[in-house]
Amino acid sequence: GENVEQHPSTLSVQEGDSAVIKCTYSDSASNYFPWYKQELGKRPQLIIDIRSNVGEKKDQRIAVTLNKTAKHFSLHITETQPEDSAVYFCAANRGGYQKVTFGTGTKLQVIP
Amino acid sequence: GAVVSQHPSWVICKSGTSVKIECRSLDFQATTMFWYRQFPKQSLMLMATSNEGSKATYEQGVEKDKFLINHASLTLSTLTVTSAHPEDSSFYICSAALAGLGELFFGEGSRLTVL
């Protein structure tokens, strides 16, 4: 089955700096890679996703890159703000109704 | 976006009792729903895949007789924790995939505490 590894487990940045979270996956058939943000006690919220037919996607301060050859993808948050503080999960699946496998999570702390 | 609602949001029960958690897709039909379990400060672990009109598919290590899943309609899946014990205390979250695109929408989650 799919195995998703995520690094780092914790990340502290100063407000305004950039944050980068990296993930690797094992299943070469995976073609959908979402990123979720989870605040304490809340449900995960999709913040951005990327499909295997593109290498990069950007949405305002958030961007995701994908390297299918190396089987890794990364989340980039620029100009971080305190409200970006949360746990971020990467995930991967084969699309459709296939199950989604989550990474171990990264706790991001943005220091004002 | 698609809305998934989960109920109850929190429940406290005595050891040995059973607890039912409901997951509803409010504005779309979900032939497939997923049940996750999340321990404090940990990731989401898939417990089972719930398929409308058929038996659920359980992940390795998940006791199907303990965690009963029923997906009787296109908008409702239920998870019943039978004979609950303190070690079953956790945050349970359901999700549904929209239109086969892979994107998951999550319910609010249910925090179970077994005394």
What does the pLDDT look like over B57-91, one tens digit per residue? Answer: 999 999 999 999 999 888 999 999 999 999 999 99
Beta bridge partners of A72: A24, A67
Cβ atoms of B82 and B64 closer than 8 Å = no
Burial of B52 (0-12, 13-18, 19+ CB in 10 A): middle
Q: What is the DSSP letter of A98?
A: P
Q: Give the chain A residue whose CA is nearest to the CA of B1.
A: A46
- Model confidence pLDDT, tens digit, residues B7-60: 999 999 999 999 999 999 998 888 889 999 999 888 999 999 998 888 999 999
The torsion angles phi and psi of B86, rounded to 5 degrees, stand at: -50, -35
Nearest Cα neighbor of B112 from B6, B16, B17, B19 is B19
d(C-alpha A56, C-alpha A48), whole Å:
11
d(C-alpha A40, C-alpha B38), whole Å:
12
CB contact under 8 Å between B100 and A89, yes or no, is no
Please report, rounded to a whole number, the percentage of residues in chain A having pLDDT higher than 90.
Answer: 85
d(C-alpha A38, C-alpha B40), whole Å:
12
- Residue A35 amino acid letter: W
Question: Could you tell me if B44 lies within 8 Å of chain A, comparing CB atoms?
Answer: yes
d(C-alpha A84, C-alpha A86), whole Å:
6
pLDDT at B99: 64
Measured in angstroms, the CA of A75 and the nearest CA of chain B are apart by 17
CB contact under 8 Å between A97 and B100, yes or no, is yes
Interface with A, mutate which of B25, B44, B57, B101 (most A CBs under 10 A) = B44
Of A34, A43, A104, the CB nearest to B107: A43
CA geometry: angle A70, A73, A74, nearest 5 deg? 135
d(C-alpha B107, C-alpha B94), whole Å:
5
Q: Give the chain B residue whose CA is nearest to the CA of A88.
A: B43
Q: Give the chain B residue whose CA is nearest to the CA of A105.
A: B43
Mean pLDDT of chain A: 94
Question: What's the Cα-to-Cα distance from A28 to each of A15, A49, A52, B38, B39, rounded to whole Å?
Answer: 36, 17, 10, 26, 29
Interface with A, mutate which of B9, B42, B103, B112 (most A CBs under 10 A) = B103
Question: Could you tell me if B108 lies within 8 Å of chain A, comparing CB atoms?
Answer: yes
Question: What's the Cα-to-Cα distance from A90 to each of A28, A77, B81, B109, rounded to whole Å?
Answer: 16, 14, 28, 19
CB atoms within 10 A of CB A61: 13
Q: In the A/B pair of chains, how many CB contacts fall below 8 A?
A: 57
- Model confidence pLDDT, tens digit, residues A37-90: 999 889 999 999 999 888 999 999 999 999 999 999 999 999 999 999 999 999
Higher-confidence position of A104 and B31: A104
Q: 């073609």: which residue's tokens? A: A31
Cβ atoms of B22 and B76 closer than 8 Å = yes
Measured in angstroms, the CA of B44 and the nearest CA of chain A are apart by 6
Of A45, A93, A107, the CB nearest to B102: A93
d(C-alpha B76, C-alpha B26), whole Å:
9
